[in-house]
Structure 1
Amino acid sequence: MSVSFGGTKAALLSTLGDHLRRLPSLLTALPASHLPLLGEWAKLVWSERQSPDRLDALRRAQRRAEADIRAALERLADEFDVLSHDVDDAMSHVSDSIQDLTWGVERELIHEVDHPVQYEEHT
């Protein structure tokens, strides 16, 4: 059985709703020994869906942080007549610092996207 996330949002929600309505009867029909397997499958599907979204969110947050810091530095530069190339130089350090700060999280998310099954087997 494969799970597809394509299609329109309304169709996806309708299909998801249909599956969720059938879930209680399915769970009562399964032996208790199978429930951990079902949980692992659900975690895998959720992780596959979440990793690209979380990676995109991280990259948006990085850009937003850089923009916020640049705005603050430009205000400071305007107030004290600091040259714009000095702001650019400072921003190169800020960009490096943001990358250093989020490097581990970004690598983990990239790995989850590239190798979802391998990642789940090792956690």
Structure 2
Amino acid sequence: MPMLEFSGQQYLDGRASDPNELGLMRGAPPANEKRIVLEGDKFFEFPHVRWSLSHMRELVPTANVRRGRQGPSPLDRSDRAADLGEVTFADIDGALGASMMRFSTPTPMAS
């Protein structure tokens, strides 16, 4: 199986960790070793997290929240502390860098 290494730890690559390729949550009921449930936090471990994040509504109760009859509302842009252009990060080698994203966007709208 194709593997990637991060900080000395081996992980399946993108294709090999595909939940469909691994047979996660297949069948009715899924086999115990292929079942993803909230108990035990296995749902948030790699590679199970790939399935979990796409199927969260199947794991926990959720609800649609409608905005009502009005259209979208403009969002306040006075707090610019979290602008993407100011985000810094550490790359895989631990080197610090600044975001290379520089773009302008219209006023965001809540939908």
| TM-score (normalised: structure 1) | 0.22
Q: Please identify which structure carries the higher strand content.
A: 2
The structure with the larger Rg is 1
Q: Greater share of helix residues, 1 or 2? A: 1
* Bigger relative contact order (CA 8 A; separation at least 6): 1
Give the TM-score of the pair, scaled to structure 2: 0.23
